[in-house]
Amino acid sequence: MVFTWIESSLAQLAELRGRLPHALLVRGPDGVGQFELAMAFAQFVLCEQPASDGRYCQRCAACTWFEQGSHPDFRLLQPERLMGEDDDEGEATADPKKKSDQIKIAQVRDLQRFLSVGTHRAGFRVIVVRPADAMNIPTQNALLKSLEEPPPETLFLLVTSSPHKLLPTIRSRCQSIAVGRPDPDQAAQWLESQNIDNPMRLLALAGGAPLRALLLNESEPARRRLLEQLNDPGFDLIAASESCLAVEPAVAVGWLQRWAYDLLSQRLAGLSRYHLTPDQGIPAVAARCDPAKAASFLRMLAKANSLAQHPLNPRLFFEDILIQYRALIADG
């Protein structure tokens, strides 16, 4: 899918055709579509009947292979965690936490073999690295060798929202392309076309990044369920931890942190920062909390947040937090 707001970036990139650098660094904040831009441009470069404005034809053999994920002159380098995220095989989703979120050095070595043989279609060969900052320093150094002496007609597209995590020697090999936040009206229009109600509110929550807004929207029902449960001193522990398990652990810890922050702020200063509508119940729950205990609960959450990337057992992790929360609001 080519998002409306990256079409102009794609057209700009298309002007590079004929004088393509070996490597482009496609950077921008999370959720603005830099990966989708890189993939669209990769398909354009490989397309055998491209239009001049960055559009690929979607009909030629190259486009067909690309869309099936089988173009012989294309490689996508990404962490195991992101592989197969579109297919719904139960096996694959059973334990996503165990999958690596790093691009491994072995993957870069495989790539070197791919680069050492000729291209299949006598055109370009394209490699997308996503996100490039998922490579540790030794892996980046391994990739650097290929960036320094690339075979002819090879294009690397390094995608990242954290370019500072890349070696300066990698950055200096790449021509940098910035993808910015789209115009809010254009982004809201696109969100509406995805059946999102109230796109402006979500877009504000997502810091103007439309794909983040879409993700927030998907997790909104779970967040609402959790807030209802947090409002109820007799809430069901299992059901509340289910609400947390519906999203990435770090996201659910963030919800709990904002909730606890507001309880303390309401207790000490009489105002909430995140939960503004009266039906969200902060004042009534805050009245039940001892401020010192609320503060220590908040500190515990900050610690939990640093573990939330990889809790050993997410269910126990959240049940433990929620038991402490129940003690906090049970005092009355």
Residues that bind Zn ion (CB under 5 A): 47, 56-57, 60, 63
Three-state SS string across the chain, please? CCCHHHHHHHHHHHCCCCCCCCEEEEECCCCCCHHHHHHHHHHHHHCCCCCCCCCCCCCCHHHHHHHHCCCCCEEEECCHHHCCCCCCCHHHHHCHHHCCCCECHHHHHHHHHHHHCCCCCCCCEEEEECCHHHECHHHHHHHHHHHHCCCCCEEEEEEECCHHHCCHHHHCCCEEEECCCCCHHHHHHHHHHCCCCCHHHHHHHCCCCHHHHHHHHHHHHHHHHHHHHHCCCCCCHHHHHHHHHCCCHHHHHHHHHHHHHHHHHHHHHCCCCCCCCHHHCHHHHHCCCCHHHHHHHHHHHHHHHHHCCCCCCHHHHHHHHHHHHHHHHHCC
The distance of closest approach from Cβ of residue 324 to Zn ion in the complex, given in angstroms and rounded to an integer, is 57
Whole-number minimum distance, CB 126 to Zn ion, in Å? 13
Give 48 or 218: the residue with its C-beta nearer to Zn ion: 48
**Nearest approach, Cβ of residue 84 and Zn ion (Å):** 25
Nearer to Zn ion, 49 or 193 (CB): 49
Minimum distance from residue 48 beta carbon to Zn ion (Å): 5
- Minimum distance, C-beta of residue 315 to Zn ion, in the bound complex (Å): 47
Residue 16 vs 60, nearer CB to Zn ion = 60
Judged by beta carbon, residue 60 or residue 246, the one nearer Zn ion is 60
CB nearer Zn ion, residue 37 or residue 174: 37
